[in-house]
Amino acid sequence: MKGWVSFAATAALIGLWSQPGCRSTPPVVTNQAVIDTAMMSERVPQNVRRLAVWYPRTFEQDMTYGYSRLEQATFQLKKQRSWMKIVERRDIGQLTDEQRWQLSGRVSDDSVVRIGRWLGADSMVLFRIEGPTMRERMLARFYGKMPPFVVSSKIISVESGEVLYHDIVTAMAVPESGEWDDYASDYELQPAMHAALDHALSIAIVHLNQSFR
């Protein structure tokens, strides 16, 4: 069994999406993953005073850990804007349509606005994490191609439906040597998967903090 897997020292340049109100950020340099970011928005307006947190319910341990980190980071934003109220994700569980939203794992911007109004929030922050499934990890061990982790963060104004912030961070795990098909089991892939997710989360949190300065 292999030990913890380190990643190649590399970083991807940031692509600029052709949408108004968005800008690129300097390249992210890391010695443990291939990181790519896109659609980094400008500073979140000061009139965001009651921010509700939403993310899909999941029973996957890695995803639960990831969403917990993102939610905790949202609460840390109060250090920069002490007047801001944060509504926790679990407070949304009382919604009658919650089960349908949970099953889909996605909500439309219009649905988010309705949720925000129900909670009395002026803005909603949505987090979504996507990563290699068990099947994709198994296929990677045969074909050598591993999908990336993608961490998406979006803040929407409840009043206008305007997207105030949208950030996407992609982290691709890269073996130190050899290929993914050199790994004998999914268990041996776990250190590499955890590290890639951690780096994607860390960059997403840095961007979120920057947008509230």
Tell me the C-alpha distance between 70 and 113, whole Å. Answer: 20
Tens-digit pLDDT string for the chain (213 aa): 333 333 333 333 233 233 333 333 333 333 345 555 555 557 899 999 999 998 888 888 999 999 999 999 999 999 999 999 998 665 555 554 444 544 455 667 777 778 788 888 999 999 999 999 888 888 888 888 889 999 999 999 998 889 999 999 999 887 766 788 888 888 888 888 899 999 999 999 999 999 998
Give the amino acid at 65: Y
Strand, helix or coil for residue 105: coil
pLDDT at 111: 75
Residue in 139, 142, 132 with CA at minimum distance from that of residue 196: 132
What global pTM score does this model have? 0.74
Quickly count: other Cβ atoms within 10 Å of residue 62's Cβ. Answer: 17
Query: Are 211 and 48 within 8 A, CB to CB?
Result: no
Distance, CA of 140 to chain centre: 23
Domain-by-domain residue ranges, the chain?
Answer: 22-211
Tell me the C-alpha distance between 150 and 166, whole Å. Answer: 13
Residue in 165, 178, 158, 119 with CA at minimum distance from that of residue 25: 165
**pLDDT tens-digit map of 126-139:** 999 999 988 888 88
Report the half-sphere exposure of 201 (CA within 13 A, side-chain side).
Answer: 22
Residues β-bridged to residue 155: 125, 165
Q: What angle do CA 32, 13, 45 make, to 5 degrees?
A: 100
Query: Are 204 and 169 within 8 A, CB to CB?
Result: yes
Report the half-sphere exposure of 106 (CA within 13 A, side-chain side).
Answer: 4
